[in-house]
Every structure is written in structure tokens, then in C-alpha cells.
Chains A and B, each alone.
Chain A
Amino acid sequence: MYENDLPPEGKGLSPDETQAHKPELRNEKEKKVSEEPEPSPPGPACFPRGFGKTVDYLLHHPEEVLESFKRDKDLGRLSRIFFVISLIMAAIYGAVMGATNLLQGSSMPLQGKFLMILISGIKVPVLFLLTLIIVFPPIYVSNAFVGVRLSFQKMLALLLASIAITSTVLASTATVVFFFSLTTKSYNFIKLLHVFFFICAGYAGLSYLFRCIKAISPPGMRQTPGKLFVVWLLLYIFVGTQLAWVLRPFVGSPNEKFQVFRPRSGNFYESVLYSARKVSSEIDWRD
């Protein structure tokens, strides 16, 4: 991602050969190349107006965002932008999650199905932000003690950025989940699919955080050790799964009546194992 200063890879053909294939296009290309300005070092981030453009900017200009972090510029505004992106993107995914019962045509009453969409749309952003609040103190303190020295506000902005990336990746899988909800009948299969996408998105977000911290730590100073990242990952998994379990149902089991929260019983890992066993037993082995 940050290898932009590397030399371009050689093309399969020598310039003369390519020239022979595309005489008329090549001239135009040369003209374009000469018009392009020299790439300048990235300045601080300057987010455009409009939600779609903002998300696009976050995805396309990580160097500029890093530069803002390095210069301590506009951190409050950046945090607010990341916060809003996380809220909306997580809500989109939550709504698709809650729509499973509607799409699969389960026996739940229609009103419950629609309420499920609304409730899951609220629950997923709450899940992300509550997890952030819970894991922030230990991450901040452990980083301050053994890692690179970052201010409270900077660390918070960094974590919000990672959540924004997580929820953006998650929201981009919404079409896939929608398609599978529409074309499969198995509640347990969908549940496992959600778990898989949450893992992938969480990994994407945390690796973004790691890269950012590596890139903004000043040279010559104490760096954040790699082992600490593993600890944070475990911390996130530990807290996130328990919180998700407390906030359930997200998808809503088709066999149970509509409910906003379920009574506490069992735990997350038990439930995932149960679903995996169920999916394999639901397969019709007869032929």
C-alpha cells in the first residue's frame, strides 16, 4: 500500500514491441504522461463534503490521513468524520443482518421482521462503539507504558479510524450477505457467514491500525512492539464476542418469537460450534 515510491514493474513487452501493437494509442499516452505533474509529498488530509466522497477519500488517501496524524492537525474533525462513517456503515450492515428473517421467509410475524431490521441496524453500531469504549483504556495505557508515546486524542482518533475501516469493509460485504440470505434457507449457515465476515472486517481494521501506528511513530524513538498488537487483537476478540453475545439477537432465530434482547445463557463460542454442527447435520445425506 505504501510502496508508491517503488519503481514500476517492467511490462511484458519491450517498448518497441508495444509501440508496434498500438501506434495510435501510444502517442496519446505519451502526451498524457508529459502533462502529469510530478507527484508531491502528501499533505494533511482534506476530506471533501458528502458521505460517499468522504468514504472514498478515506480509502484512497491513507498517506494524507497519516500525514494529518503526524502533524497533529484537525484531529477532532477527523475523529468526528471517522465516527460518522462507522455509525452509518455499521448501520447498513446491521440492517441487512436483521433483514435475514424477511428474506428467508421464516415464520416470524411480519411486524417482527421489520422491527428486526431496525433493531439490528442500531445494535451493530452500538456494538462497535461500546467495544471501542471498553478496550480503549487498556490499549491506551499499555501503549503509553511500553510502546510509542501518543496523546490521548491521537490514540482515540486512530482507533476510530480503524473502526471506520472495519465497518466500511463490513458494509461492502452487505450485498453478499443479502444475496445469501435471499437464496439459502439455513439460519445457522447465515450466522456462520456473519461471523466469518466480522472476523475478516475486524482483521482489516486492526491491520490498518497497526500500519498507521508503525508509520506515525517518529524514527529514533521507542516503537510499539509487535507482541502488543497480538495482545490488542486478543483483547478485541475477547471483549467484542462477549458484547455481541450480550446484545444478541442480531439475526433472530426463526424458531423463536420476536425479542429485542434474549435472556443470558451460554456463550458465543458454544453457539458458533453449535451452528457449525447444525449446518453439517442439516445437509441431507440420503442420496
Chain B
Amino acid sequence: MESWGNNIKIWWKSLVHPETADELVLEVVKPAGFNRCLVIGIALLYAVYGLSMGLFRGAYPGLIAAVKLPFLFLLTQVICFPLFYVLNCLMGPRLKINHCFRLLLLATSANACALASYAPISYFFTLTTSKMGYHFLVLMHVAVFAVAGLLSIIVIVLIVRSTASRLKCRIRPAFIIAWSMLYAFIGTQMAWVLRPWIGTWTVPYAPFRPLEGSFIESVIKLLF
């Protein structure tokens, strides 16, 4: 348990002082079992928020959403990883593969922390709106995800910059942009596949919905 407390302390320090996170990413300091601790921590933080999303329809949908939300982010990370690694070599700081993995984990954990900090608000509104509040809740969750995403991007850019300055190379903005576009592209499709998150009252609840279309199609439909 001691190493857990220590790991959490180091993790939090790297998020609050991202300019010193380079040591963690480049494994200058090697806390034991840090990656495992980080993965479990991320899963727990997302689960806390996921529960509040599904709770609108009841306890069972809440549990399902709490299990699904960590998978949304961790699976997205797994799918993005090879391309991210190659991009990092061709236009980024040329990190090694395990350093790259830790950087991505730290990035996801920044997002998890930002999102979980909104969990009290989410619980409050979910438990106090009536059955008619579905559309309001959808908007609220989208706004919370957007704000949490922005917050985490700021931290991630600082972490990447400190890592790059340690390696004495410059970061191109194109690298960060390409990375976030890729992440958004796959993340949205993953979110679409793992629907329903909140669950409308117009259809009976099921943990998953049949695959139809994609998120991109639904966005095109929304725009035109």
C-alpha cells in the first residue's frame, strides 16, 4: 500500500506541475508499479463519472455506464498507440516505446481527473432533473466532456513541452494537432459504438445498441 500512496503522490505532482513531469515520462525516476497504478486510477475516476451518466435510467444502467466509460478511453488509447508512436518518431520528440506509453497514460489520466472533478455537478443534476430532462443532460455531459478535454489538453501540451525540452528538441504544433485530431476521430467512433450512455426513454434500455451508421455520419446529418 505504501507504493500506492507514493505513486499517487508522484502522479498528482506531475499533473499539477507538468513542467517537472519529464522525469516521469523519460523514466529518470522509476516508481514501482506506476503504470498499473495509473491504469487502475484512470479506470476508477472514469467509473465515478460514468455512474453518474447512467444513473438517469436507474442503478443497473448506471453500473453498465460506469464499466463502459473507462473502456471508452483505454481502448481508444490502445487503438491510437501504434500511429501515435510512429508520428512521435517522424515529427515529434522521438520518444521510446515505453516512454510514449507512459506519456499517453499521463495524458489520459489528466482527462480522467478533469472529468471526475465534475462528477458532483453531474450527480446533482442527474438526481434532481425529472424524466423530461434527457436533452438537458445530453447537453450538460457534452459540455463537461468538452471542458474536461480542453483542460487536459493544456496540461498535456505542458507535459510534452517539458519532455521535449529535456530531450533538447522542438515540438511542432502539427504534431499536437495531428494527435488530438486522431484521438477525437477514434474516440467519437468508440463512444458511438459503446452507446447508450444516458439512455432515452423512447427505447427500452439495453447495455448496447446494434451498430448502425457511425458518429461521422450522424454529424454530417446534423450539419446538413
Contacts of B86 in A (CB 8 A): 59, 168-169, 172
Q: Is there contact, CB below 8 Å, between B186 and A179?
A: yes
User: Does B82 count as interface, using CB distance less than 8 angstroms?
Assistant: yes
Complex CA distance for A12 and B17, rounded to whole angstroms: 10
Partner-contacting stretch, out of A3-11, A118-126, A264-272: A3-11
Given A176-B186, A285-B221, also A11-B165 (CB < 8 A): yes
Contacts of B166 in A (CB 8 A): 8
User: Does B1 count as interface, using CB distance less than 8 angstroms?
Assistant: no
Contact with B along A255-287 (1 / 0, CB 8 A): 000000000000000000000000110111100
Q: Is there contact, CB below 8 Å, between B13 and A184?
A: no
User: Does B49 count as interface, using CB distance less than 8 angstroms?
Assistant: no
Complex CA distance for A29 and B22, rounded to whole angstroms: 10
Q: Is there contact, CB below 8 Å, between A175 and B81?
A: yes
Contacts of A142 in B (CB 8 A): none
Q: Is there contact, CB below 8 Å, between B89 and A175?
A: no
Q: Is there contact, CB below 8 Å, between A183 and B193?
A: yes
- Out of A9, A59, A184, A189, name the residue touching B90 (CB < 8 Å): A59
Q: Is there contact, CB below 8 Å, between B20 and A283?
A: no
Output the nearest chain A residue to B171 by Cβ-Cβ distance. A9
Given A18-B19, A179-B186, also A283-B79 (CB < 8 A): no
User: Does A45 count as interface, using CB distance less than 8 angstroms?
Assistant: no
Chain A nearest CB from B38 CB (Å) reads 17
Output the nearest chain B residue to A284 by Cβ-Cβ distance. B213
Complex CA distance for A173 and B87, rounded to whole angstroms: 10
Q: Is there contact, CB below 8 Å, between A179 and B213?
A: no
User: Does A25 count as interface, using CB distance less than 8 angstroms?
Assistant: yes
Complex CA distance for A282 and B218, rounded to whole angstroms: 11
Complex CA distance for A165 and B212, rounded to whole angstroms: 35
User: Does B29 count as interface, using CB distance less than 8 angstroms?
Assistant: yes
Q: Is there contact, CB below 8 Å, between B169 and A4?
A: yes
Contacts of A133 in B (CB 8 A): none
Contacts of B89 in A (CB 8 A): 59-60
Output the nearest chain A residue to B172 by Cβ-Cβ distance. A1
Chain B nearest CB from A219 CB (Å) reads 24
- Out of B90, B186, B189, B220, name the residue touching A280 (CB < 8 Å): B220
Complex CA distance for A168 and B192, rounded to whole angstroms: 29
Complex CA distance for A249 and B107, rounded to whole angstroms: 40
Residues of A within 8 A of B (CB): 1, 3-4, 6-13, 18, 21-22, 25, 28-29, 32, 56, 59-60, 165, 168-169, 171-176, 179-180, 183-186, 189, 204, 208, 279-280, 282-285
For the complex of A and B, 5 pairs with smallest distance between CB atoms: A59-B89, A172-B86, A172-B82, A8-B165, A172-B83
Residues of B within 8 A of A (CB): 13, 17, 19-20, 23, 28-29, 78-83, 85-87, 89-91, 94, 96-97, 158, 161-162, 164-166, 168-170, 182, 186, 189-190, 192-193, 211-214, 216-217, 220-221
A-B contact pairs, 28 of them (CB 8 A): A1-B90, A1-B91, A9-B161, A13-B19, A22-B13, A25-B20, A32-B28, A59-B86, A59-B94, A60-B96, A165-B90, A169-B86, A169-B90, A172-B86, A175-B80, A175-B82, A176-B79, A176-B83, A179-B186, A179-B189, A183-B211, A184-B189, A189-B214, A279-B217, A282-B217, A283-B220, A284-B213, A285-B221
Known: A4-B168, A183-B214. 20 other contacts (CB 8 A): A7-B168, A9-B161, A11-B19, A11-B162, A18-B20, A21-B17, A25-B20, A59-B90, A60-B94, A169-B83, A174-B82, A175-B79, A176-B79, A176-B80, A176-B182, A183-B211, A184-B214, A186-B213, A189-B217, A204-B90
